[in-house]
Structure 1
């Protein structure tokens, strides 16, 4: 009895499992929820999927249409297994590929009608022939498709002629669009550009068309820049706005503040009509593209040039005014560009001619907002000016030229095309330099000599005052002054330990020399070391004195004076003639003081006496203690 019950239970479970399996593999065909509204003349794409089937993984599909105007009569549209399946109205359209089935996978396909017609309105059925062992589930699904008329309109107000447009110009494109539909549909507008580029490895005939979306207003009125234009949009260089036009049309205005070289290309405006399907997905149901024209951007480098005057070479007397002019040529007048103008100088004075070596330095600049600043020589801010004298014309004036003003001058202009006030981090569109203007300054014949000496006197000791005399003699015409600087560097080894005038030695290197003090041409004294009390003064027209008070061992060394000749220009201003002289080197050695010499034996004597006393006391104490110990033992 128990065996029979177990067998019945097993059979029941088997039948139950079999029914569950049959239910689980029940065939199911699905289509999108309807009704679907699509526009005549534009594509229709209907996805169809089958699941829960038996048999091969690749299933066949057959499409039927029940036209609204045919009383619900069935018409064969297309089949994946039977080429003779289409009815007469669809045979030609299937043959030329206008109506076709595109397979996404073995169990998913889509019916594509390239150009939907008004008579294509109706209910579409997707049927899958059975490959199952038993007939279970649904083998088809239906969806209603409503064909609405094409009312999408798009136009532009001005086309591009293809004439060269200067780099940095502003570009404005206007596109209008409208939809007259009974259904609730949305409109999106996209501005784009087609350009040509070399295909990688294409060689001759390898050009491909590159289509780039510039900016768009989507179906929900959101503004979206294209991938390659994101930064320019963030910087405010590209914008798109919608305005209300006549007759309910929307007017869409795209602006590029400054066109660039890679903006060359063919521009278009694309209008798209969108609808929200019952499954809450947005579908593009119509699209129209309108070519606006070609834009050719002319490079600024092709027309821009910078000229400076006077040209060639200029020779001036020291103290004369120096006037240089910079002119920017070929800059489009209709492009609102900012200019950074700089005057640069390279060269040094050698005799009466200008050397071309050295580092190029900035003399003065005028920023895009008209602010003038001077380079390293800040004294020029009161002795010169930089002005904008006319449109695209700038002048540099040095009221009283100095010998140090000799050199090769160039005007450097950085153009920010279409940007009157660029951000500090924004690179210039183009930078160009003028030809060089060589400026020579005729100076007086100047000769200067310098002699350093240590006056005779007692031996110098630590704590003494070191006195050094520099005799600087200038031979020239007109007023002149010497500017004296004292240098110190270590005493070379070996050296004789006496203060004397040493023969001229090799000049000190920049690494080991120390500038001690200087007396400027205008009488101002500058002290550069803090280790000792130092003073410098002028004893006569040619004699300059350096004193180091309470000298320490750090103050000994090799001393020399360095003299520069300064002359006066006709306007009363002083300038450095660049004529220099280095004196002989003087050795300063500090001897030990007498007190220091006596202190050494005194210290040694005291130490010796103390040591002898300790030894005697220790010996006597030791003997006394031993004798005392013996006496105690005898008792």
Structure 2
């Protein structure tokens, strides 16, 4: 049997004939067809390709259906007109044309291997002169030449004419107004080039968020965080033929403030997909949104002292930036909770009583009127305003709400009346501060000869019973009523400071003193000259003592008298505690701990010593010759002293403090969180002379001793060997002399060996 075998890409055809060769022509034709259909294939992207001057570009070349080694070699050439030049090769560094060698050596032009059969021609900054037909070719490694060994693509590099010029928007807009974002774009027309424009915003430290993208296919893409905003009609895109693109955001909200950016991209359509060939981004500007709450102010005007039967008139004055664009909802309140009357933003009045009326008398002015007031109408009046903003599709949202400071309305009867006004003289803002309340009595239908008394009332909570703290009689005798703090009796005082004025003071207020304080002033007379008779009395408004209890704050500072010492010296490291929020150091104690690490920037610290809040010092076991001690130099200063420092004392030190605070009421101790200081570094210098002087002294003494011993031994040996023998025994003498000389040589050898050993030691 005879046969012909053809192998191509793993396929084997075996032709056999026994008696005739009639099938051979058919098989040859089949082999040729299969070879052409599965031969080597070199491919490039379909052209023409358009790129922009100054931008990076890459051309990917891929070979498939080949034989031979897996890693293939590639060559790139460029044809401009009738001239073809060599660009770059994967295996021949001398391949580039002379005109391109400088760009190849600087990697402006390079070839990057993606895998064994794929490479990319890369140009960092394309030039217009790079336009032409680029050819990618591969070397043949096939047993049979078939398929294509090169591919061409037409590359066109156009000038960079894209220009993006934004218009700076208004730096600040009021809430509810418009934000106009203009971006002017110019470019030379090139067929096959498409544009896209993206508006984005960067808020504080967050990532940039896309608002809207137009293009490249004339479609709109809305950012995921602005889909509802776009659906509500608050984003509008405007374009014209001059290259002006504008995005308008209506109904600005505080979340809209940030830095706005316009990004323009150029695209080409290649192989059914969009390919970005250039991108330019410009900052449009930073926009701040002025919130309505920032500018909204509400205050109550007019007189606040009336007689029974009068008409009460109070005016609520509202002011804000862009007030005309706001819908105002006004509510009058009595004692913060009782609603007297209400005016909606549409001007509808909610009737709660025929006694009350509310009218809008001007822009931002709303008047409350109460007819024929009574004593029950006395109290704290305030005006609550809600500001609404209408969005572009007609929906309203509440932008701000503010309530005026309450004003005390005092109503006096037509008979003898005492009106009392309580005011803060000193407001208690923290535990330990002083509270002062001024009580001023307004007398009507009373002679100035009447005597006044005052009682200080307190209500320790809303709805809690009223208690009497102290009183001052018409004879100006002070009496402590329900004040049972025997340890604080000297901290309370009540004095008369004027004809109708009293001053109440609590020194070093505590948490238990929080509540509502008022004055009750009574007028007295002595008809018979002996006994006092009360004419009338009046109670003031309430003054609140309210503060948040805050624990003292502590900080820890570590310092050293030196940062570098020699061995055996002493070093001191201070640990100072700073306290704010309390001045009574007798009620604060500290636990102090000192730590050391031999390595810098290490977290491996060991405890050196500690002192507890009772002053008991504990030290860790040390293996070094140095020692440490702790010393307290003040209520808040602790010193660690290291005596006889050694190399092992070098490193970083820090201290920790655990404050303990004693309650002034229960005398119980409360543990506060531990605070930690920064690290302080101590360097122990190396004493060169101290480490070398003893070895040098020992070596010098040893050398002198060995030398002196060698000289003495030599003299002794010379004297022994130079004795004269009798002449009659010459032969014997000669023999002994030879033996002596031999012994001398052995002695010298031993001496040399002994000296060498001494030197070695």
2:287 is aligned to 295
Question: 1:332 — aligned with what?
Answer: 321
Q: CA deviation at 1:304?
A: 3.3
| C-alpha displacement of 1:435 | 1.7
Structure 1 CA distance for aligned equivalents of residues 204 and 73 of structure 2: 43
* Map of 2:210 onto structure 1: 213
Change (3 A) 1:141 1:420: closer
Structure 2 match to 1:229 = 226
Give 1:194 deviation, angstroms.
4.1
Partners of 1:420 and 1:38 in 2: how far apart? 43
> In 2, Cα distance between the equivalents of 1:26 and 1:169?
69
Per-residue deviation, 1:21: 8.4
Answer yes or no: is 1:307 the counterpart of 2:299: yes
Residues 399 and 218 (structure 1 numbering): CA distance in 2 closer, same or farther, change over 3 Å? farther
In structure 2, relative to structure 1, the CA distance for the partners of 1:421 and 1:193 (3 Å cut) is closer
Aligned position for 1:263:
256
Q: Report deviation, 1:442.
A: 6.8
Select the residue among 42, 46, 51 that pairs with 1:33: 46
Aligned residues: 398
In the alignment, is the contact (CA less than 8 A) between 2:164 and 2:186 conserved in 1?
yes
Say if 1:48 and 1:110, in contact at 8 Å, map to a contact too: yes
Shift of residue 29 of structure 1?
2.2
Question: Is 1:115 equivalent to 2:115 in the alignment?
Answer: no
Q: Partners in 2 of 1:66 and 1:295 — Cα distance?
A: 52
Q: How does 1:23-172 map to 2 (within 5 A)?
A: 26-54=39-67, 60-68=73-81, 71-76=82-87, 78-101=88-111, 107-130=117-140, 134-156=144-166, 158-160=167-169, 163-172=171-180
Q: Give the drift of 1:130.
A: 5.0
Distance 2:114 2:390 in 1: 50
**Structure 1 position 169, deviation (Å):** 3.8
Counterpart mapping for 1:9-20 below 5 A: none
Change (3 A) 1:184 1:35: closer
Partner of 1:371, secondary structure, is coil
Q: 1:411 aligns with which of 364, 373, 383?
A: 383
Q: State how far apart, in whole Å, the 2-side matches of 1:226 and 1:100 are.
A: 38
Name the structure 1 match of 2:274: 282
Structure 1 residue 123 displacement after superposition: 0.6
Q: CA deviation at 1:32?
A: 1.9
CA distance in 1, matches of 2:372, 2:184: 64
Q: Which residue of 2 aligns with 1:611?
A: none
Q: Do the aligned partners of 1:223 and 1:240 also contact (CA within 8 Å) in 2?
A: no
Distance 1:138 1:421, change over 3 A: closer
Whether the 8 Å CA contact 1:126–1:141 is kept in 2: the answer is yes
> Aligned-pair distance for 1:197?
0.5
Specify every segment of 5 or more residues in structure 2 that has no aligned partner in the other structure, as ranges. 2-13, 416-761
Q: Is the 8 A contact 2:378 2:411 kept in 1?
A: yes
Deviation track 1:419-451 (CA, whole Å, cap 9, x = no partner) reads 488625x4x333333222345667999xxxxxx
Q: Deviations over 1:363-404 (max 9, x none)?
A: 444444x33242xxx443x55433333333333334455777
Is 2:183 the counterpart of 1:193? Answer: no
Deviation at 1:30, TM superposition (A): 1.7
Task: Flag the 1:184–1:421 CA change in 2: closer, same or farther, 3 A.
Answer: closer
Output aligned runs, 1:421-500, within 5 Å.
Answer: 423-424=395-396, 426=397, 428-439=398-409
Once the two structures are TM-superposed, the CA of residue 96 in structure 1 deviates from its matched residue by 4.0
Match of 2:528 in 1: none
Structure 2 counterpart SS, 1:429: strand
Match of 1:273? 266
Q: Between 29-38 and 6-15, report the one with greater CA deviation.
A: 6-15
Question: Do 1:338 and 1:422's aligned partners in 2 also have CA atoms closer than 8 Å?
Answer: no
Report the secondary structure of 2:240's partner residue: strand
Q: Match for 2:247 among 249, 254, 267? A: 254
> Is the contact between residue 178 and residue 250 of structure 2 (CA under 8 Å) also seen in structure 1?
yes
> Secondary structure, in 3 states, of the residue corresponding to 2:165?
strand
Q: 1:24, 1:52 within 8 Å by CA — same for their partners in 2? A: no
Kept in 1, the 8 Å contact 2:234–2:251? The answer is yes
Q: Work out the CA distance in 1 between the residues paired with 2:392 and 2:144.
A: 80
Q: Structure 2 vs 1, CA of residues 80 and 168 (structure 1 numbering), >3 Å: closer, same or farther?
A: farther
TM-superposed CA distance for 1:17, in Å, is: 11
Tell me the distance in 1 between the aligned counterparts of 2:147 and 2:177.
67
1:242 corresponds in structure 2 to 239
**Is contact 1:40–1:148 with CA below 8 Å preserved after alignment?**
yes
The secondary structure found in structure 1 opposite 2:129 is: helix
Equivalent-residue separation in structure 1 for 2:414 and 2:370 (angstroms): 20
CA separation in 1, counterparts of 2:75 and 2:372? 98
**In structure 2, C-alpha distance between the alignment counterparts of 1:87 and 1:257, rounded to whole Å:** 60
Deviations 1:11-35 (A, max 9, x none): 9999999989867764322222222
Cα distance change on mapping 1:121 and 1:394 into 2, 3 Å? same
State the Cα distance separating 1:325 from its structure 2 match: 2.7
Alpha-carbon separation, structure 1, partners of 2:355 and 2:17? 115
Closer/same/farther in 2, CA of residues 176 and 396 from structure 1, 3 Å limit: same
1:108-156 Cα offsets, whole Å, 9 max, x none, are: 4443333321211111122344565654432321111123334434434
Note the residue ranges of structure 1 that are not aligned, 5 or more in a row.
199-209, 348-355, 446-635
**TM-aligned CA distance change 1:274 to 1:320, over 3 Å:** same
Shift of 1:60: 5.0
Separation in 1 of the partners of 2:118 and 2:29?
31
1:173 aligns with 2:181: yes
For 2:341 and 2:107, how far apart are their aligned partners in 1? 73
How much has 1:66 moved relative to structure 2? 1.5
Q: Secondary structure at the match of 2:262?
A: strand
Report if the CA contact (8 A) 1:372-1:386 is conserved: no
* Length-normalised TM-score, structure 1: 0.53
Cα deviation code 1:508-549 (max 9, x no counterpart): xxxxxxxxxxxxxxxxxxxxxxxxxxxxxxxxxxxxxxxxxx
Bigger relative contact order, structure 1 or 2, given CA contacts below 8 A and separation 6+?
1
Pair 1:181–1:385, CA change in 2 (3 A): same
